[in-house]
Amino acid sequence: MLRIRIELVPRGFGEPIEIGRMLIANVGKNGVSDPKHANYKAKLARKGQTDERKIWRKPQREELVTNHARLSLSVWKLVARALHSMGFEGHT
């Protein structure tokens, strides 16, 4: 599982404040024939939510990233695909 935390660091050196969190987990190859690809479930935390069990059970948003080339693409491409699938537009 990946845990992506976004932190705001006041003045560049102050105590960090978590302002966002996402969990991404490999959920297997359901329907994927190539072993170099996999499906991933991405879950976005509600504001202030840090308990990962609660995030997994009741996320703010949840999407499936399918047929991801896990061995040839950067982890950042997986994060970008997860965000895009949740409706966060931008260049992916």
> Pick from 80, 67, 17, 12: which is nearest to 39 by CA?
67
**Pairwise pLDDT comparison (10 vs 34), residue with the higher score:** 10
Q: pTM higher than 0.95, yes or no?
A: no
The residue to which tokens 């024939």 are assigned: 33
Instruction: Return all residues near 25 (Cβ < 8 A) that are at least 6 apart.
Output: 1, 2, 40, 41
- The string of pLDDT tens digits covering residues 68-86 is 999 999 999 999 999 999 9
- Whether the predicted pLDDT of 20 surpasses 70: yes
The residue to which tokens 């840090």 are assigned: 50
Instruction: Write phi, then psi, for 50 (nearest 5 degrees).
Output: -120, -15
The residue to which tokens 């703010």 are assigned: 60
